[in-house]
Amino acid sequence: MDYNQMLDNLYVKLPPKKTTGERFEPPVASILMQGNKTLITNFDVICQKIRRKPEELSKFLFKELATRGNVAPGRLTLDTKVPPRVLNEKLTYYLDQCVLCRECGKPDTHIVYAAPVNTLVCEACGATRPIRL
Ligand SMILES: [Zn+2]
């Protein structure tokens, strides 16, 4: 068997690709630096994608980045310079903590706010878990 035949055989043995078309792509922030401020110019898109209110996500970011800012339609302004890498890391952290279901991995969740612990409820599989943020 020559090399090409080996490759052909290998290819045939691979399982067919799953095309669920539902794979969740984590949003990436479009970031603009303006003087001492950092703008997320696709903030509304991010919020829609992860199904959180702009207030929920901005509150988290202000706290995590120890800064203030404001939400305007479509964008978030942070009153400090935040490197894009750091900002996207915070987003990933938020997704992991407050959006993605640990059971089924789907982002179809919402938060039930209640003292003393908030709960993440998965609409896809019904799983719940407490969240700290
Ligand atoms: Zn789930």
pLDDT tens figures, 10-39: 666 655 555 555 678 899 999 999 999 999
Residue 21's pLDDT is 56
Per the prediction, the chain carries an average pLDDT of 90
What is the CA(101)–ligand 1 centre distance, in A?
A: 5
Give all domains of the chain, ordered by start, each with its CATH number: 26-99 (3.30.70.3150), 103-133 (no CATH)
What's the pLDDT band for 55 if we cut at 50, 70, 90? Answer: very high
Instruction: Supply the angle between the helices 43-50 and 54-64 in degrees, to the nearest 10.
Output: 110
Ligand 1 centroid to residue 50 C-alpha, Å: 14
Q: Can you give the pLDDT at residue 3?
A: 73
| Pair 111, 101: CB distance under 8 Å | no
Say whether pLDDT at 2 is over 80: no
Ion ligand 1: residues, Cβ under 5 Å: 101, 103-104, 122, 124-125, 127
Ligand 1 centroid distance, CA of 21 (Å): 17
Q: Which helix (H) or strand (E) holds 90?
A: helix 84-98
What average pLDDT does the segment 89-99 reach? 96
pLDDT of residue 24: 86
Q: Are strands 109-112 and 69-72 parallel, antiparallel or unpaired?
A: unpaired
Q: CB of 96 within 8 A of CB of 88?
A: no
More confident of the two residues 75 and 2: 75
Measured between alpha carbons, how far is 26 from 7 in angstroms, rounded to an integer?
34
Cα of 6 to ligand 1 centre, how many Å? Answer: 41
Q: Which residue from 36, 32, 68, 70 is spatially nearest to 54, judged by alpha carbons? A: 70
pLDDT for residue 10: 66
Residue range 46-53: mean pLDDT, rounded: 96
- Specify the higher pLDDT residue, 123 or 133: 123
Residue 6: the pLDDT is: 72
Contacts of 37 (CB under 8 A, 6+ apart): 69, 77, 78, 79, 80, 81
Q: Which residue, chain included where needed, has tokens 């719940």?
A: 128
